[in-house]
Amino acid sequence: MSSTDPTKSILHVDETSMRTNKVDQTSSLLLSLALLIGLAVLMLGLLFFLRAMSSSAQVIILEPERIAGRGDNAEGTERDFDPPAADEVEQLTEPAVEQTLQMVTETISMISSSLESMESSMTGNESNGKGDSRPPGPEGEGDDIIPRFDRWELKFTARDRRNYAIQLEAFKIEVGAIGGGIATIDTITNIASAPTKKSVTPKEEKARKRLKFVSVNENVLLQYEKQFLQTAGITNNGRQVIKFVPNDTEEALAQAEAAYYMEKRGKDLRVATIAKTVFECRQKSKGGGFEFVVIDQRYRAGANAPKK
């Protein structure tokens, strides 16, 4: 008979059962790869989110635009001389003491002739005939920049009058009428939700410093604007229809213009080289509402203008 050792049978371990098989190795590898890929996707998503947040919060520092304008002066190639001030005329009436009577006589005669010419210029306000080389706009000195009301073009993709009113109200743009023998400027606020008529004096409107766009072309949108005015009880016969853009919307347009320029032409923003910036009103892809998007930008011809 053979005998068995109970101690040996208890302590004995089958080493073959503890070996890792190929199935376990493959599943562990796949699990590790899945964890690494998930972590990488998470990091990329976080990076994209942070970048989107930083880009949306970026604000371009814009310098105030100083526009040169000729005011009521005639268009020309040079600058008209300003008439002499009273103190300047007074200085001319005090000739220096000359050593001879002949020189004194000649000097007085010359001054008298100059005074007659100056007096004629002051009373008649005659120009030198060459006009004023500054562009149209309020009279003043500044940079050779095309004003925003002439440089910007706003396009609305409205399906009907109601949709156009909603887009205008989204940007707090008011439609108004001026002129026609009426002393006040009449506008409509809350065009889509609750049209309300407002009347202000030209001085009060000037103090608000709002950007204004004149509606000139007889198109569907102008007909809508006239209907808005009629509905609010504002007459537009013989009057100019104008869109009044609030300051915050104007700033948003300026930011979009600058961002488009810097993306296409580099970081050195030169507003003086821009001839036209075309904006289009579009519905936002997320969150609802509308936004203005730059769809085109043209540049002025010249040595300092970037080539398109």
301 three-state secondary structure: coil
Q: What's the mean per-residue pLDDT of the chain?
A: 77
Per-residue pLDDT reduced to its tens digit, 148-163: 999 999 999 888 999 9
Domain boundaries defined on the chain: 69-142, 148-299
Which pLDDT value is given to residue 30?
84
In this predicted structure, the answer to whether residue 121 has a pLDDT above a threshold of 50 is no
How does 29-50 read in b/e, with b if 16+ C-beta sit within 10 Å? Answer: eeeeeeeeeeeeeeeeeeeeee
Which pLDDT value is given to residue 235?
92
Long-range contact set of residues 299-307: C-beta below 8 Å, sequence gap at least 24:
299/273, 299/274, 299/275, 300/146, 300/272, 300/273, 300/274, 300/275, 302/273, 304/270, 304/272, 304/273, 305/273, 306/265, 306/270, 306/273
Which pLDDT value is given to residue 125?
46
Give me the count of residues in the chain. 308
